[in-house]
Structure 1
Amino acid sequence: MRRLVRWVLARFFGLVRLLLAQFAVDRRVLALAFARMADGIGNSFLIIVIPLYVADDVVGGVTFGLGEAMIIGIILSLFGFLNSSFQPLTGRFSDRTGKRKQFILVGLGGLAITNLAYLFAETYASLLVIRGLQGISVAFIIPTSVALVNELATTGDRGGNMGVYNTFRLVGFGAGPVAAGGIVSAGPYSLPVGWTISGFDAAFYIAAITAVISYLLVTVLITDPESTEANAAADLSIDVFDPTGRNLLDPIFTLGVVSLLMATAIALFATIQPQVNDHLEQGATWFGLQFAAFIIAQIVLQTPIGRACDLYGRRPFIVLGMVILVPSTLAQGLVTTSETMFLARLVQGIAGAMVFAPALALAGDLAGEGESGSKLSVLTMAFGFGIAIGPLSSGALISYGFVVPFAFGTVLAAFGAVLVYTQVEETLETTASVPVVGDD
């Protein structure tokens, strides 16, 4: 019995060491990952809370003839469009100044203030202004955070660093919506000081607190890398065509287009819950599981795939991920059971995980010193636009048939796979004798 206990403990601690080894990165990358996880929890809270807030008639005012559902859609979409639109500007400006940390703190400060501002919002117009300011605030965070991770990494571990960063960020993004609905419905809350706050107020306070926690983590634990210098004299423009002449399109621009296509395909599912539930004759619980399947696959696979692309090259993973995205997207329009929809979403999550970290790592390999903010913002901006375009596309196409939005996403994924295969070359000298997909 004692021998069995020792064996079990040895295997347990071996597993713990293995898991810790997966996150063995620069402490600043790990701290930044935890900070993004904290602000991700609060920010994703609002995806659930804002529609409930509007539907509860807490706010009012001029609607310009729009229905409630359209108002909610505009408020939520405004965040994504402003966030993505401002990312190239903040990324480029952070390259000019060389101050990544300061940009992240500005964004987190803005996020904390705007989360509290919801407590005083009484009109639809005020919600639009607050959500728009949040989008601009997050535009200060995303490109500079990714640039900071890129500069703290080396060519040999860039994929692993990107994987760890994305893993924790997605944990926060996935956890927020799960908790938000419960916190709102469990209100009002009686505080020890004699105050009573509603469930909505509690959610906004928690969102603000998570942003403050993230702010403190960055303030205390993050420093700009010693190699980061202001790059005011550099040409930080983004080429559309390949300046070397080897391919038609510039590889970073190509990866941006691919990110846009991929994000649009994976975001088609989000806003057609009633149609999905009717088609599969299922309830909201199954839809929640299917929606979560994509995120679960991302959380589990981001770090190991990031590590693997440091060994075997970036391009094979990106190409294979886009190829897998094709059938997994089409399958969602053809499935007839809840279980197969869950499986299709899970496979789509695997495809996304194979693209995210390797694409950022490849773009980071190509970015010169002091150019990370500008170059990587192309990918983060494009992904943000795709996340905003996807729901709008599925909402417009679903009336033509259940399969149509997913067929549209399938075409986009196939086009993205062709772009990567033909326009992007490997940047890593691989240390293992594994053939690169598409190479002779």
Structure 2
Amino acid sequence: MRDLARRVIAQFVVDRRVLALAFARMADGVGNSFLIIVIPLYVTSDVVGGATFGLEEAMIIGIILSLFGFLNSSFQPFTGRWSDRLGKRKRFILIGLGGLTATNLAYLFAESYLSLVVIRGLQGVSVAFIVPTSIALVNELATTQDRGGNMGVYNTFRLLGFGAGPIAAGAVVNLGPYRLSGVTISGFDAAFSVAAITAALSYLLVTVLITDPEGTNANAGADLSIDIRDPSGRHLFDPIFTLGVASFFMAATIALLATIQPQVNARLEQGATWFGLQFAAFIIAQIALQTPIGRACDRYGRRPFIVVGMILLIPTTLAQGFVTSSEAMFFARLAQGIAGAMVFAPSLALAGDLAGEGESGSKLSVLTMAFGFGIAIGPLASGALVGYGFAVPFVFGTVLAVLGAILVTTQIEETLETASSPIAGDD
């Protein structure tokens, strides 16, 4: 048991600043994911009113939630590049966390649909300051030999926070109102306060425990352009661009389930609890496997995991369109989560290997931006396609997975020279 415990602990041994940043992102992840559950409830409550511009409440909820993703993803290349030029990762992370704290507090005073749209939009821009600069900082604090493990640890704790938030959010709202020192606080106000406190805690952790690597300043004026075509001429597409496209396909595929809960529940004759478990299965697999897969790709190479993960994404996506039981859907989502874990951390590590000093923000933002757009596009695609048949969205996702697998198989080469796997080399 002691040896097992030592091995588990060893998986999470990384640079102190990476671990601090991982805990910081876990804290703000709790608060941010809180809002995914709380905002729809808040919109449909008696607290919010005002002009709807002819839109139904369901459409307003969709706009509020989607706007965050689109603005977050759209601004990431700019904030990533800007942080490269200034060489100040920590400053950008703090700007984003400060904005997130302020906007979470702003919900306490929002009583109209328009104000919710504006606040959520500002939150999307705020998080755009955090995501690419955090990934860039992890990349710069790592070396080629431990980059995958660092990315895995960072993503594990970030996903822990993101997964824990929705579980607690509904309870916080439903158990309100609360009485504290003679003051009555509604369930909604308590939820928004929790989100603000977690963002502020994250701000404090970054302020006290994080410093910029010295090499970032020395290379702040490096060439930050992103190529679509492979400049070496060995392949058709640039490897980082290829990883971005594959990340977009993967994210869109895993997000297909998000908007078709009624159709899934009707087909499988199940309730909301089963759907919640099925939706969470992907995150469960990610949390369990990100760190060990990240460590493994430091030893065996990045490319084998990315290729196998994209190939595994094909049957696990297609299966969801044809399963006939709740248990089968759960295991299909769990297997899809395994596929995603095999792609995500190794892709970031491979892109980090290719990024020169002072280029991490702009280079890695290609992947984070693409993933964000995929998460936003996937639910829209499934909502539009499910009317043609339950399996159609998943067949569409399978086609994307096939294209992604072809791209990474033909356009990506190994970057880890010491990889010991026989399939880790170049094509």
Distance 1:51 1:334 in 2: 30
Aligned pair in 2 of structure 1 residues 107, 75: CA closer, same or farther (>3 Å)? same
**Deviating 4+ runs (over 6 angstroms):** none
Aligned-pair distance for 1:18? 1.6
Q: Any residues of structure 2 matched to 1:334-373 within 5 Å, and which? A: 334-373=322-361
The code of the aligned residue for 1:327 comes to: P
Q: Any residues of structure 2 matched to 1:52-201 within 5 Å, and which? A: 52-191=41-180, 193-201=181-189
Which of 27, 39, 54 pairs up with 1:50?
39
Which of 387, 406, 415 pairs up with 1:418?
406
Aligned length: 427
Which of 172, 182, 204 pairs up with 1:216?
204
Kindly indicate whether residue 255 of structure 2 is the aligned counterpart of residue 264 of structure 1.
Answer: no
In the alignment, which residue of structure 1 is the partner of 2:280? 292
Distance 1:369 1:436 in 2: 25
Aligned-pair distance for 1:136? 0.3
In the alignment, which residue of structure 2 is the partner of 1:6? none
**Corresponding residue SS for 2:257:** coil
Aligned-pair distance for 1:435? 2.4
Which of 20, 26, 30 pairs up with 2:19?
30
The code of the aligned residue for 1:295 comes to: I
Distance 2:168 2:226 in 1: 40
In the alignment, which residue of structure 1 is the partner of 2:214? 226
**Corresponding residue SS for 2:216:** coil
Distance 1:182 1:398 in 2: 31
Q: Any residues of structure 2 matched to 1:240-319 within 5 Å, and which? A: 240-319=228-307
The code of the aligned residue for 1:93 comes to: W
The code of the aligned residue for 1:143 comes to: P
Kindly indicate whether residue 220 of structure 2 is the aligned counterpart of residue 204 of structure 1.
Answer: no
The code of the aligned residue for 2:3 comes to: G
Q: TM-score, normalised by structure 1?
A: 0.96
The code of the aligned residue for 1:243 comes to: P
Distance 1:194 1:18 in 2: 50
Aligned-pair distance for 1:231? 4.0
Q: TM-score, normalised by structure 2?
A: 0.99
Structure 1 stretch displaced more, 102-111 or 15-24: 15-24
The code of the aligned residue for 2:67 comes to: L
In the alignment, which residue of structure 2 is the partner of 1:5? none
**Per-residue Cα deviation, 1:75-111 (whole angstroms, up to 9, x for no partner):** 0000000000000000000000000000000000000
**Corresponding residue SS for 1:190:** strand
Distance 1:314 1:251 in 2: 12
**Corresponding residue SS for 2:161:** helix
Distance 2:422 2:53 in 1: 59
Contact residue 97 and residue 231 of structure 1 kept, 8 A: no
Aligned-pair distance for 1:234? 2.5
**Corresponding residue SS for 1:196:** strand
Contact residue 221 and residue 358 of structure 2 kept, 8 A: no
Distance 2:418 2:269 in 1: 48
Aligned-pair distance for 1:273? 0.7
Aligned pair in 2 of structure 1 residues 304, 376: CA closer, same or farther (>3 Å)? same
In the alignment, which residue of structure 1 is the partner of 2:382? 394
Aligned-pair distance for 1:57? 2.8
Distance 1:208 1:97 in 2: 28
Kindly indicate whether residue 327 of structure 2 is the aligned counterpart of residue 327 of structure 1.
Answer: no
The code of the aligned residue for 2:250 comes to: M
Distance 1:260 1:400 in 2: 24
